[in-house]
């Protein structure tokens, strides 16, 4: 199975679960992932593009 098929299957399960009242855990997971994404570097932080290769290696290695 490829990534597209996996994603499609996940969407189908989520849509089916919606009718059975099982979306609350999925909603909580999505909200937690959104919160995590907000903690990461966003497009408004151009400083990362100004780092040298060596500085990026140190940053990624942390």
Among residues 57, 25, 60, 26, which one has the least CA distance to residue 40?
A: 60
Query: Which segments of the chain have a pLDDT < 70?
Result: 1, 17-23, 41-45, 62
What is the rounded distance in angstroms from the CA atom of residue 35 to the CA atom of residue 53? 29
Distance between CA atoms of residues 61 and 55, nearest Å: 10
State how far the Cα of 51 lies from the Cα of 57, in Å rounded to an integer. Answer: 10
- What pLDDT is attached to residue 19? 63
| Residue 41 contacts residue 48 (beta carbons within 8 Å) | yes
pLDDT value of position 20: 62
In this predicted structure, what is the pLDDT of residue 54? 92
Reported as a single tens digit per residue, the pLDDT across 4-15 is 788 888 878 877
């Amino acid at each position: 199975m490829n990534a597209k098929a996996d994603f499609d299957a996940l969407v189908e399960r989520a849509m089916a679960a919606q009718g059975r009242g099982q979306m609350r855990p999925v909603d909580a997971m999505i909200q937690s992932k959104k919160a995590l994404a907000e903690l990461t570097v966003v497009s408004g932080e151009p400083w990362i593009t100004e780092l040298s290769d060596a500085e990026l290696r140190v940053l990624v290695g942390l």
